[in-house]
Each structure stands twice: as structure tokens, then as C-alpha cells.
Amino acid sequence: MKVKVQYLGFIKNLINQSEDEFELEEGAPLSELLNKISGMYGSPFQKEVYEKGIKDVKMGFVVTVNGVLIGQLQGIDTQLCNGDNVILMSLMSGG
């Protein structure tokens, strides 16, 4: 199956990429996709956003699947389907 990933804000600047498309097994969990992204973009992504083995993205970042926050789904265990759109973005803060 194919899954589209869009990177917004800090993540987009960190990896110098706005989107990717990944081929995964049907029903693969979000964690598998995050592991692929982590392996592809290496240390900067792992340090700031997600490392293999942790149960969520790091503080200050959110992930949506088809517009729904993963906290409202099954977190990184959310099963993905062909054509899903995943967005990784940083939270905004102001003062």
C-alpha cells in the first residue's frame, strides 16, 4: 500500500523535505512508518521527533492520519490503509 506523508513547520525545515510517499504492507502500524522515516532522515529526526522503540512522537510534535490526531486513534499502533495521508508537524507556541 502507499501512504503519503507531509512534513510541516520545524520538521519540514529540519529534513529539508515537504512530503514523501512510502510503500508499506497493508495494515502496517504507524510505528512502522515512523521507523522508516527515522531511518531515512537519521540522527536529526531521531533526536528531535521520533526514535524507534518509543511509544509516541517527542514532546512538541503531533501526527495526524487523515486529519485525525493519533491521540484520538490508537497512537503509534494506528493501522494504516492504502491512500492514507499522514501529517507530521510541530506544535506552535507563542508568548
Q: What domains can be seen in the chain, in order of their start residue?
A: 2-90 (3.10.20.30)
27 within 8 A of 78, measured Cβ to Cβ: no
Average pLDDT, the chain: 93
In a 13 Å sphere around the CA of 2, the CA atoms on its Cβ side amount to 4
Q: Is the pLDDT of residue 70 over 60?
A: yes
In which band, very low, low, confident or very high, does the pLDDT at 94 lie, cut at 50, 70 and 90?
Answer: low
- Mean pLDDT, range 11-40, rounded to an integer: 96
pTM over 0.85: yes
* Secondary structure tally for the chain: helices H, strands E: 2, 5
Q: Is the pLDDT of residue 10 over 90?
A: yes
Tens-digit pLDDT profile for residues 74-83: 999 999 999 9
Question: Which comes out higher in pLDDT, residue 92 or 78?
Answer: 78
